[in-house]
Structure formats: structure tokens, C-alpha cells
Amino acid sequence: GENVEQHPSTLSVQEGDSAVIKCTYSDSASNYFPWYKQELGKGPQLIIDIRSNVGEKKDQRIAVTLNKTAKHFSLHITETQPEDSAVYFCAASMGRDDKIIFGKGTRLHILP
Amino acid sequence: DSGVTQTPKHLITATGQRVTLRCSPRSGDLSVYWYQQSLDQGLQFLIQYYNGEERAKGNILERFSAQQFPDLHSELNLSSLELGDSALYFCASSVATGTYEQYFGPGTRLTVT
């Protein structure tokens, strides 16, 4: 079955700097890659997603890139702000059975 | 606010007991998904219902069951509870099946003592 690896598990960046979180997936049939942000005491919140027919997608300070050949996808956050501190999860789905397989998460700390 | 509601917010119960968690999807969404989140296992997909029918199954124990009602709300039933069942249980909904965006509720924190 699908397996999603996420790195790093913890990331600290200075406010204003960029943060990059990387994920790899195992099943080449995966075609949908969402990213979720989870703040303490809350449910995961969908922040951006990308489908396999697209290489890059941007939404303000957030961008996601996908390399289908290497089975890698990454989340880029630019000009980080204190409210970006949270746990971020990458995920992959093949669509045919609607399962989303999540990575283990990255705890992002934005340092003042 | 995702529009997905879950009750109760917290639940404390004893081993061997049975509990029911409730989820109401976003207005218009037909699919409901259940996930378990624990510290050591991360977010694990349990089961999905689409328009009242079971659509996909993940790592759901036989002691656990779910259903989706005609008004599209869903319930997750956990029985013969064990200490290891203590976790956050999330419900998510999407408009249909396939690779559609899933929106998560705030979760139910279950503590088994």
C-alpha cells in the first residue's frame, strides 16, 4: 500500500525566513497531494493541494511543488510569521478508494 | 471553522465500555471519513461512507463500527474499549468520492481509563 515519508519532524526558522517541508510517496498511482496545518487543540486544516497533472501551485506565501518522477513533493512557506507555528502534514491519495495516507507531521516553530 | 461538527468534544470512559462519536458533515457534502490520531501512529484513516454506503476501509478494528444516516450525519461506535484506544478521533467530509478536498472537524478526544 501507499506510504508517505515526511521530513523533518521538527523545524525551527527565524521569523521572516522561509521554511521547506519535504515528503516522498511510494505508489506511483497517487494523484492527489494535500497539505494540512494543525494547530494545538484543533483539527487539521487544508491549506493547499496539488494534483499529479501540475508541477507547482502557489497561494500567497505558500507553494507546493511535485516531482512525479522522483515521487517527491514539498511545501514552501515564505516570509514566515508567528501564526505559521503549527504541525504540518503532507498526504497522498490514489483516488480510486478515497484513502488519504498522511505523513507523520512536521512541527514548525517560528522564532522571534 | 470548516463547517464539520463533532460531538462530544471530550469523552472519558472506562475499559470495556462502549461509546458513540457523532459527526455532521459540511452542508452539501456526501462523503464522511473517520480518522484516529494518536501520538505514536499519527493520523490513521479508519473508514469512509458515501451517501449512506460504506465506501472504503482502512485500519479499523473489528470492535469499531460506523454508519451514515439518511440525513448524512455519521456515528462511530467504539466497543470493548482498551487503554490503547485513547486518542483523538476526527471526522472529515468531502463533496463526493474521488480525490476531493477533505475538511476536518475539531475532533473528539477519547480517554479510556
pLDDT tens, position by position, A48-97: 999 988 899 999 999 999 999 999 999 999 999 999 999 999 999 876 66
Closest residue in chain A to residue B47, using alpha carbons only: A99
Between B2 and B96, the more confident residue is B2
**Do A19 and A108 form a contact (C-beta atoms < 8 A)?**
yes
- Contacting residues of B for A97, CB less than 8 Å apart: 55-56
Is A29 at the interface with chain B, CB within 8 A?
A: no
- Contacting residues of B for A105, CB less than 8 Å apart: 42-43
What is the pLDDT of chain B when averaged over all its residues?
A: 94
Q: In DSSP terms, which residues pair with B54 in a beta bridge?
A: B49
Task: Residue count of chain B, please give it.
Answer: 113
Residue A102 and residue B42: Cβ atoms within 8 Å? Answer: yes
Is B96 at the interface with chain A, CB within 8 A?
A: no
Residue A98 and residue B107: Cβ atoms within 8 Å? Answer: no
**Do A95 and A47 form a contact (C-beta atoms < 8 A)?**
no
Between A13 and B1, the more confident residue is A13
* Alpha-carbon gap, residue A63 to A61, rounded angstroms: 7
pLDDT at A95: 63
Confidence tier at B22 by pLDDT (50, 70, 90) = very high
- Contacting residues of A for B109, CB less than 8 Å apart: none
Is B90 at the interface with chain A, CB within 8 A?
A: yes
* C-alpha separations of B41 from A14, A80, B37, B54, B77 in Å: 30, 28, 7, 24, 20
pLDDT at B42: 83
Is B58 at the interface with chain A, CB within 8 A?
A: yes
Largest CA distance in chain B: 38
Residue A76: exposed, middle, or buried by beta-carbon count in 10 A (0-12, 13-18, 19+)? middle
- The candidate with the shortest Cα–Cα distance to A76, out of A67, A63, A66, is A63
* Alpha-carbon gap, residue B90 to A16, rounded angstroms: 33
Confidence tier at A8 by pLDDT (50, 70, 90) = very high
- The candidate with the shortest Cα–Cα distance to B56, out of B20, B107, B6, B102, is B102
- Contacting residues of A for B107, CB less than 8 Å apart: 42-43
* Alpha-carbon gap, residue B36 to B113, rounded angstroms: 18
Alpha helix stretches (DSSP H) within chain A: none
Residue B104: exposed, middle, or buried by beta-carbon count in 10 A (0-12, 13-18, 19+)? buried
* Alpha-carbon gap, residue A77 to A106, rounded angstroms: 13
pLDDT at A97: 66
pLDDT at B103: 93
Residue B98 and residue A101: Cβ atoms within 8 Å? Answer: no
Q: Please compute the mean of the pLDDT values over residues B42-66 and round it to a whole number.
A: 93
